[in-house]
Amino acid sequence: MTTLLKELGKNLPKDAEITEVKFEGPEIVLYTKNEEFFKNHDQVIRRMVSALKKRIEVRPDLSITMDMEKTKKAINKIVPKEAGVQEIYFEPELGKVVIESQKQGMVIGKGGETYRKIKNETLWLPKIERAPAIKSPIVRAVRNLLHTEIDYRKKFLNSIGQKINSDKKENSDHWVRLSCLGGFKEVGRSCMLVETPNSNVMMDCGVNVASDSFPYLDVPEFSIDTLDAVILSHPHLDHCGYIPWLYENGYTGPLYCTAPSRDLMVLLCLDYIDICHKEGKEIPYKKRSVENVVKHTIALDYGEVSDITSDMRLTFQPAGHLLGSAVSHLHVGEGLHNILYTGDMLYGPSRLFEPAYTNFSRIETLIIESTYGGARDIKPSRAESENKFMQIINDTMKRGGKVLVPSFAVGRAQEIMALLGSVQDFKYPVYMEGMLWDATAIHTAYPEHMSRNLQKQIFHQGKNPFLSDIFKRVTIKKERDELIASPDPCVVIATSGMLVGGPALEYLKAFAMDKKNTLLFVGYQAEGSPGRRIQKGWREVPMRTEDGKTRTIRMEMQIDTIEGGLSGHSDRKQLTNFVRKLASKPERIICNHGDGHSTMELSRDLHKYYRCETLAPRNLEVVRLK
């Protein structure tokens, strides 16, 4: 760190009037009371960034900033009314004014002109956030928490930055190893530990909701006291659901993920606590630990290169699987080793996202998901699946029936909404109940993380499919009862996706006896779940009622399944194409996140196709990577 500070001093102009130098995690922050330097520092900072290989931000010392009330008036005068500015508040500890707007682009202005005008006139550093198009209590709560904890976060981020930038200890023994703590030869509780002589970094820490199992954290390789950082690939519970447990048990380090992953993780972890409580299961952590996760999260954008330890550098790129999902590239040491962890990914088209990113300059070890890695795991095309989906919907509507689509709250529900909301002549109501409405609200806060086509619709054509008039939210039992009693055809999308509980189960009980109705599966049905039993042909299915008793449901309604084409996972062909399209060919491929059959078959055939070392380790195995 001493060396770094010396280099800063050499490159800064003598009249920069720097009053404070702080770290914010991997970033260096300079506070200045020189108005001219604050306004026009771009060239100087670019040279310093190039020389130091660090992100640097210049902020104003409070002694030069405009009065807060005058600043609000100035912003309202500068920013067009059409931008839909909803809130303006200040983070004086950081020299920032936060502007929350429905149209971020208009606050930034063409070529950043409006942004610069706000900055130069008020001498505050603008921080522009998008207001969700659908009101989101989760987004609001997360932003409020980050705002109220700003003083703590400033100290926390500075301590992390000091640790990252501490003068490195020279170590002649260079090695990298991977400990498999969950999600190997299985789907669920994904967790792994990457270790070097200087660092211990965890990638994902999930729960297996179906079996109530957690990662193996009681092994000699893992100690919460020596954990330096946690990386989250995406916020499904099998990847994020056990992260709050770390903070419940003494971890106080950073969690790295994208901003939408952070918000969705909060939604799903809080819901997981509620489900455990309702079902009488042991709750592994308290709600305050979820808040603690947020306080310690460092949100990174795609393509942003960040030091996360003294010898590891992280870059997120789009994974195509879920809002905010990322493939994680770890650069270890000074060119010692490069790891790419795909997490869950889709290397193919979807309405919501671009395919997973492949243009990595160096990869020695690839850790790839194998959910559908078996030789026969070939799914129909997206267009074929969408056409089948709409055909089933339209046929049911014509005969005056109702379609029940059990869906997971995050991912599949929004894919269906994007499809239905884009069909111009579809006029039937689509009722939505369960957590999926809150998840959709979070999606509306981050359209820049979605596909180019969807961004074009939202930003340039003013057509946000999530805001279509066909979508109706069901919030209370009375509304559900009225919907069920109505003779009018409609579509109902409700959680849970496997019919193990939630409002979908109540709709099924009401719709099951009518032959005009259709039960349409669009997601994976786990073995032993009610959904899988129905798929297998069971026509009398035992279901738990709200009072805890078991009741047999007679299935007279139509049963259909969209086989994999709407999935957020890559099938066998897409997985092999992803490896083929990588700009850097890996020396080693490790297959995880799939059952024993899928991981072994994918590992075997990737070795055959690409002539490199391939592995399908089990949980608790340790692999030396370097």
Q: Which of 8-12, 69-73, 237-241 is predicted least confidently?
A: 8-12
Mean local confidence (pLDDT), 239-244: 97
Q: How far apart are CA 623 and CA 626, in angstroms?
A: 9
Between residues 434 and 520, the one the model is more confident about: 520
Collapsing DSSP to helix, strand or coil, 250 comes out as: coil
Location of each CATH 3.40.50.10890 domain in the chain: 382-561
**pLDDT confidence tier of residue 9, bands split at 50, 70 and 90:** confident
pLDDT for the residue numbered 280: 86
Radius of gyration for the chain, computed over Cα atoms and rounded to the nearest angstrom? 25
**Predicted confidence band of residue 450 (pLDDT cuts 50, 70, 90):** very high
Q: Does domain 382-561 have CATH number 3.40.50.10890?
A: yes
Distance CA 507, CA 263 (A): 29
Q: Distance of alpha carbon 173 from its chain centroid, rounded?
A: 36
Q: Is the separation of the CB atoms in 436 and 495 below 8 Å?
A: yes
CATH code assigned to 65-131:
3.30.300.20
What average pLDDT does the chain have? 92
Going by pLDDT thresholds of 50, 70 and 90, the confidence category of residue 275 is: confident
**Which CATH code fits 173-376+573-624?**
3.60.15.10
pLDDT digits (tens, 9 = 90+) for 377-421: 998 989 999 999 999 999 999 999 999 999 988 888 999 999 999
Q: Could you check whether the bond before residue 179 is cis, i.e. omega within 30 degrees of 0?
A: no
pLDDT at 169: 59
pLDDT tens digit string along 491-533? 999 988 888 778 998 999 999 999 999 999 998 777 778 888 8
Q: Where in the chain is the domain with CATH 3.30.300.20?
A: 65-131
Least confident segment among 49-53, 94-98, 142-146, 548-552: 548-552
Q: What is the pLDDT of residue 170?
A: 61
Q: Could you read off the pLDDT of 79-136 as tens digits, one per residue?
A: 999 999 999 999 999 999 999 998 888 899 999 999 999 999 999 999 999 999 999 9
Q: Residue 5's pLDDT is what?
A: 67
User: Per mean pLDDT, which range of 147-156, 493-502, 576-585 is the poorest?
Assistant: 493-502
Start-end of CATH 3.60.15.10 domains in the chain: 173-376+573-624
Cβ neighbours of residue 314 closer than 8 Å, sequence gap 6 or more: 231, 256, 300, 305, 306, 307, 308, 328, 329, 330, 331
Q: Are strands 588-592 and 177-182 parallel, antiparallel or unpaired?
A: unpaired
Q: What is the pLDDT of residue 565?
A: 76
* pLDDT-above-90 percentage for the chain: 77
Q: Which residue has the higher pLDDT, 547 or 535?
A: 535
Secondary structure class of 414 (helix, strand, coil): helix
Distance, CA of 222 to CA of 200 (rounded, Å): 9
CA 414: distance to chain centroid? Answer: 14
Beta carbons within 8 Å of 66's beta carbon, 6+ residues apart: 74, 121, 122, 123, 124
Sequence-distant (6+) residues with CB within 8 A of 568 are 320, 321, 322, 344, 346, 350, 411, 412, 415
Residue 172 pLDDT: 66
How do 191-195 and 177-182 pair as beta strands? antiparallel
pLDDT in tens, 537-577: 998 888 766 666 778 889 999 999 997 778 899 999 999 99
Q: Distance between CA atoms of 83 and 79, rounded to whole angstroms? A: 7
